[in-house]
Chains A and B, each alone.
Chain A
Amino acid sequence: MATIRALQQPGWLKLTTGGLLGLWLLIAAFPILWIAVMSVKVPLDAFAASPWDVIAGPQTLAAGKGITWADVLLTLILLGGTWVVATGPLPRLVRRASPQGWTGLGWLVGAGLLGAAFWFAATAALPALSGAINRTLGLEPLFGFTWEHYRAVWVENAFWRNFVNSLQVTLGVTAISLTCGTLAGYALARSGAWIAFAILIVALIFRALPHSVLVTGYLPVFINSAEILRPLLGDSAPTLYGQPLAVIAVLVAINQPFTIWMLRSFFQSIPAELDEAARVDGCTHFQAFRHVIMPVMWPGIITTGLFSFLLGYNDFLVTSLLLDQSNMTMVPAISGYFNRETTTTDQVEAVAAAVSITAPLFLLVMIFQRQIVSGLTAGAVKG
């Protein structure tokens, strides 16, 4: 496409745009990068007065915790190598090796293997190699750097348990949301009945409800659910309060209005002739949906699934009120840190926990960035 010269920006405007964009990128990334830097320093450095001290970490260095440029170089090589493998050979291998119709499983196995290899390289091979290089070359540490806060959070405070709970809730929410949502979204997209529109409008109103309103409705029922359900279920009636499954159901319901709106607009962008053709060939509605429509819906599913994932993963209000201490997810668990944030060590541990929560999301954007943008282009915006 030829751009017209008059449409191009003049020099001064280009400069201003570039400058403002640069400023935005700085504002967007700085808080996240900064807490990542803080989390690997001893408290004195993390809250030092000079920003250079926070970055270089002299106190951390003085405590004998630092990394040399060889460490930095090797880490970068490892990260870069992983990225290259993940984007190049891995997809090809998965596509070639996985049997017909099992590509999803192939991806899981592939990603699992790569993750395991990365874990081995990062925890065993890399330290050994860099240690050897540092010894032979006699390198002095350059930056203060320590994993101690992460170790304290994950191992000593058993944050991994919260991680498992988070994983459980998030995956449950995503899977159930998408299953219910695709069915409903498809029907709503293909039906012109007034009730379809009424459901959409009601869903829109439900989307607006503050979550605390709903939680107020559940709380007494969930706490007393054993007594309420006893006439129905006998003595096996469960107390729903504190059950991850109950929280999953609640979050799925909260998420359902957005999911069906979004998926409906994706389904609308798929021509109805496609399922009509399948119906002529003798498919039932469900078969047409399952074998003809779903295969072309993946971009929409991924985008919507991502939003469900974010809702489940990021939720604070519902999980903190409906789960008890023993099965807290990560985000409400972190409030435990800042309630006893009395010493600076506690503060830096809270920072480390915060970074730990952010890391998976970072990875997610890296993998699905293109889907988010193109998915929103294709679907959601038409609703």
Chain B
Amino acid sequence: MRARTFAWFIAPSVVMMLVFIAFPLVSVFWQSFTLTQPVTQAVQVETCTPGFLGQTCVTETKIQPVIGEDGRVLTETSFVGWQNYANVAEPARAWAAITSLDFAGLMQIDFWRALRFTLSFTFITLPLVLGVGLALALAVNSVTRSLRGPVIFVTLLPFIITPVIGALAIRWLFVGDGILTRAMEAYTGTDISMFAQGWTIEILMMFYRVWHVAPFAFVIFYAGLQSVNQDAVEAALIDGATRVQRIRYIIVPHLMPLIVFVALIHLMDAYRVFEEVIGFRSEAYVISLQYLTYDFLTPDGTGTRAVNRASASSMLTMIGIVILLIPLLRHTWRQHRGSR
């Protein structure tokens, strides 16, 4: 394919990505070092109250936003260096907490709280998703053919359901008078409320995520299982390999590229955990990095959005995912070099 044709074919997609992904990245980078705020001016205001013999007048200086010619508040943008980052991550406070080994103190700062949850969420769900997905694939593969269709249908349901709705569905089972909380209360005989402390919410969030993503891992692994070399399995059988050994030494190595693929996708998706916070309404106890940015971006009481602080937290979030992905990207790169 000549370069010209290639360029024409690729153009719509690349332009799309440049305008809507690369450009915002640059703009976020710029915003994270600047601060946009209304221009203010000090105005001398004299307020007089009518009195008995004369007026009492008070003169005071008020800070007011300047209104431009078009009737809108003028804003100015100034370069502030690392100020936004410092506002988000509060390094001084965080450092003080770390040096005095005050974990609870560190968790007082939203950014570190979000980072802690996001990372633990990512790394706890990763092996669970891979494990459940693999177990499901092996189980379905051993079921009679006629049953596989319905089983796959039901298995796919949690995967396609809207994340916010899925989280809500599980929340409604466990919320105050939800059916499963009632069941647990009847079983243990104690009062249980699943949404009154952080760790129970975290468990529910992780449960939800595994429930939601394991079917994806299942479909991929199940597809991979169809191409396992039967001769190798039979040869292993003749050599006296047990069932576990056959899985360990033949099936898992065969699926390895797929396991890496699912792990990669899951790492990316779990790191941007967000819908769970909305669905479980956990913002008072548990927040994630992406929720932190979302929170900065939603208009506050006065209708202003903290765009600059959101940019700083976005940049920090992005640095995190790049660090997580470096090993996997190097792996892909080496494979590509090797395959040529």
Which one of A74-82, A91-99, A148-156, A373-381 contacts B? A373-381
Interface: B311 (CB within 8 A): yes
How many angstroms from the CA of A31 to the CA of B161 in the assembled complex? 11
- Enumerate chain B residues within 8 angstroms of A14, measured Cβ to Cβ: 142
Interface: A334 (CB within 8 A): yes
Interface: B89 (CB within 8 A): no
Interface: A107 (CB within 8 A): no
How many angstroms from the CA of A254 to the CA of B19 in the assembled complex? 11
Known: A199-B10, A205-B325, A210-B271. 15 other contacts (CB 8 A): A31-B172, A32-B157, A34-B173, A184-B12, A186-B9, A191-B6, A215-B297, A260-B13, A316-B278, A331-B162, A334-B164, A338-B168, A350-B168, A361-B160, A381-B224
Interface: A21 (CB within 8 A): yes
Q: Which residue of B lies closest to A361 (CB)?
A: B160
Given contacts A9-B142, A24-B155, A257-B17, contact A210 B318 (CB under 8 A): yes
Specify which of A29, A183, A217 is in contact with B154 (CB 8 Å cutoff): A29
Interface: B165 (CB within 8 A): yes
Q: Are A181 and B293 in contact (CB under 8 A)?
A: no
Given contacts A215-B297, A253-B17, contact A381 B220 (CB under 8 A): yes
- Enumerate chain B residues within 8 angstroms of A250, measured Cβ to Cβ: 20
Q: Are A212 and B179 in contact (CB under 8 A)?
A: no
Which one of A119-127, A137-145, A218-226 contacts B? A218-226
Q: Are A49 and B9 in contact (CB under 8 A)?
A: no
The 9 closest A-B pairs by CB, nearest first: A217-B24, A253-B20, A187-B9, A184-B13, A377-B223, A212-B293, A210-B272, A213-B314, A31-B169
Which one of B46-54, B195-203, B329-337 contacts A? B329-337
Q: Are A285 and B10 in contact (CB under 8 A)?
A: no
The DSSP consensus for interface residues of chain B is helix
Chain A residues engaging chain B, CB cutoff 8 angstroms: 4, 6-7, 9, 13-14, 17-18, 20-21, 24-25, 27-32, 34-35, 38, 47, 49, 51, 54, 179-181, 183-184, 186-188, 190-191, 193, 196-197, 199, 201, 203-221, 249-250, 252-254, 256-257, 260, 285, 289, 310, 313-314, 316-317, 321, 331, 334-335, 338, 347, 350-351, 354, 357-358, 361-362, 364-366, 369, 372-373, 376-377, 380-381, 383
Q: Are A369 and B28 in contact (CB under 8 A)?
A: no
How many angstroms from the CA of A207 to the CA of B158 in the assembled complex? 22
How many angstroms from the CA of A257 to the CA of B322 in the assembled complex? 16
Chain B proximity of A242: nearest CB distance (Å): 13
Given contacts A216-B314, A335-B278, A351-B172, contact A376 B165 (CB under 8 A): no
Q: Are A354 and B168 in contact (CB under 8 A)?
A: yes
How many angstroms from the CA of A303 to the CA of B199 in the assembled complex? 38
Interface: B281 (CB within 8 A): yes
- Enumerate chain B residues within 8 angstroms of A35, measured Cβ to Cβ: 168-169, 172
Interface: B222 (CB within 8 A): yes
Given contacts A314-B162, A358-B161, contact A366 B1 (CB under 8 A): no
Chain A proximity of B323: nearest CB distance (Å): 11
Q: Are A321 and B298 in contact (CB under 8 A)?
A: yes
The DSSP consensus for interface residues of chain A is helix
Chain B proximity of A184: nearest CB distance (Å): 4
Chain B residues engaging chain A, CB cutoff 8 angstroms: 1, 3, 5-6, 9-10, 12-14, 16-17, 19-21, 23-28, 31, 36, 132, 135-136, 139-140, 142-143, 149, 151-158, 160-166, 168-170, 172-173, 177-179, 182-183, 211, 215, 219-220, 222-224, 226, 233-234, 237, 243, 258, 261, 268, 271-272, 274-275, 278, 281, 289-290, 293-294, 297-298, 305, 307, 310-311, 314-315, 317-318, 321-322, 325, 329, 332-333, 336
Specify which of B1, B16, B31, B155 is in contact with A220 (CB 8 Å cutoff): B31
- Enumerate chain A residues within 8 angstroms of B23, measured Cβ to Cβ: 217
Chain A proximity of B265: nearest CB distance (Å): 8
- Enumerate chain B residues within 8 angstroms of A215, measured Cβ to Cβ: 24, 293, 297
Q: Are B226 and A377 in contact (CB under 8 A)?
A: yes
Chain B proximity of A211: nearest CB distance (Å): 7
Given contacts A34-B169, A377-B226, A381-B220, contact A207 B268 (CB under 8 A): yes
Q: Are A187 and B219 in contact (CB under 8 A)?
A: no
